[in-house]
């Protein structure tokens, strides 16, 4: 199996931006968030979530994210139940992804909850993407319809940078500033060289 670099960080930290830079260097990226969203189209998942959290979470087979969020994210026990439905399926997709790319120098597993879900145990190295709180909130508000309160609720349900740091081998500080890619690219390239060595 190829070596694996885990990429993690809180919502809005810039994981996707960093992953895209790695992709331009030819590194295959497994995006756990995108894979989780794909799981919500699985008829078995639709059935299980509907029976657990209510039938109007899906309309004509399409997930209603706001409805699900209102019933889950403020309640840790319900969030754990949702995770128990989605996480095993995402893990199965990860195993298949890794198998399909075992000829690569290394691959990336991007996941906001990489460490709490113990996904870091499948990684050779872990990269933590950090950013100031206000930058994170502004980024998420710009790309979604979430309110500041809803974003803070999600941040409070995630591990903090300080909690994740001991499990990480690299860190990138992704501050919001002009030409932010100019600051990120050299850092990514240095980590890329280390992963290939």
Residue 124 belongs to domain with CATH number: 3.40.50.300
Position 153 scores a pLDDT of 87
Among positive and negative, which fits the CA dihedral 90, 101, 2, 11?
A: negative
The answer to the question of residue 75 being in a domain is no
Angle at alpha carbon of residue 68, lines to 65 and 72, rounded to 5°: 135
Look up the domain containing 114 and give its range: 3-32+87-196
Residue 160: C-alpha distances to residues 9, 62, 109, 119 (Å): 8, 32, 19, 17
The answer to the question of residue 154 being in a domain is yes
The answer to the question of residue 28 being in a domain is yes
Burial tier of 180 (Cβ tally within 10 Å: 0-12, 13-18, 19+): middle
Task: Quote the tokens at residue 74.
Answer: 């403020």
Position 180 scores a pLDDT of 65
The answer to the question of residue 15 being in a domain is yes
Position 127 scores a pLDDT of 98
The answer to the question of residue 71 being in a domain is no
The answer to the question of residue 157 being in a domain is yes
Flag residues of the chain having pLDDT under 70: 177-180
Position 129 scores a pLDDT of 97
Instruction: Work out how many domains the chain is built from and give that number.
Output: 1
Task: Quote the tokens at residue 102.
Answer: 């075992």
The answer to the question of residue 165 being in a domain is yes
The answer to the question of residue 74 being in a domain is no
- pTM (whole model) above 0.75: yes
Position 177 scores a pLDDT of 63
């Amino acid at each position: 199996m190829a070596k694996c670099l885990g990429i993690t960080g809180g919502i809005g930290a810039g994981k996707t931006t960093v992953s895209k830079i790695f992709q331009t260097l030819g590194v295959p990226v497994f995006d756990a968030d995108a894979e989780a969203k794909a799981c919500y189209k699985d008829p078995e998942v639709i059935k299980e979530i509907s029976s657990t959290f209510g039938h109007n979470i899906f309309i004509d087979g399409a997930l209603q994210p706001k409805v699900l969020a209102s019933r889950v994210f403020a309640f840790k026990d319900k969030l754990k139940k949702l995770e128990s439905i989605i996480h095993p399926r995402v893990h199965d997709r990860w195993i298949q992804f890794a198998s399909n790319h075992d000829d690569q120098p290394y691959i990336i597993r991007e996941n906001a909850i990489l460490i709490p879900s113990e996904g870091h145990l499948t990684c050779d190295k872990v990269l933590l993407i950090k950013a100031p709180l206000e930058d994170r909130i502004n980024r998420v508000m710009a790309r979604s319809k979430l309110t500041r309160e809803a974003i803070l609720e999600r941040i409070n349900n995630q591990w903090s940078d300080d909690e994740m740091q001991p499990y990480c081998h690299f860190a990138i500080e992704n501050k919001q500033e002009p030409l932010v890619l100019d600051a990120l690219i050299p850092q990514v390239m240095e980590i890329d060289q280390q992963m290939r060595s």
